[in-house]
Amino acid sequence: MRSELVNIEAGKFKRINGVVLRTVISLMPTSFFSKNNITDAVAGRGITDGEVCDALDYLEGAGYIETRSVNERQPVRLTDFAFDMDLIEFKLSSRGKLVALGIVRDDGIEL
């Protein structure tokens, strides 16, 4: 039973990461975007704000998105702004584009 729950959670995690990554490449492939841009875009898919944050954290950690401060426009880590994400914005990295297009595979992302 525990194994089934783990598999369900893992599948959900991979699916949400894929939805967020596909949303980024579809709507903002070369520009910076906010967490709210993604949350609004996936609202009809039953994905929560917290799940979007988890996906952005994974994508940043894997090097698929870059994060910068809105005001200083300097690179930052998402975890430094986890409680005030309106102060940061994201951009798809070159490596992220390869994954989003299916050129590079990542076991944590379901395309």
Specify the 3-state DSSP secondary structure of 90: strand
Structure confidence at residue 10 as a pLDDT band (50, 70, 90): confident
Q: What is the pLDDT of residues 22-78, one digit of tens each?
A: 999 999 999 999 999 999 999 999 999 999 999 999 999 999 999 999 999 999 999
User: What is the 8-class DSSP label of residue 66?
Assistant: E
Q: What is the CATH number of the domain that holds 43?
A: 1.10.10.10
Domain count of the chain?
Answer: 1
Is residue 107, in this structure, part of any structural domain at all?
no
Angle at 14 between CA 36 and CA 29, to 5 degrees: 45
pLDDT for residue 5: 67
pTM of the shown model:
0.91
Residue type, 101: L
What Rg, from alpha-carbon coordinates, does the chain have? 14
Is residue 109, in this structure, part of any structural domain at all?
no
Listed residue (109, 101, 105) closest to 56, CA to CA? 109
Is residue 84, in this structure, part of any structural domain at all?
yes
Q: Which residues pair with 67 in a beta bridge?
A: 90
Q: Provide the residue range defining the domain that includes 21.
A: 2-100
Is residue 68, in this structure, part of any structural domain at all?
yes
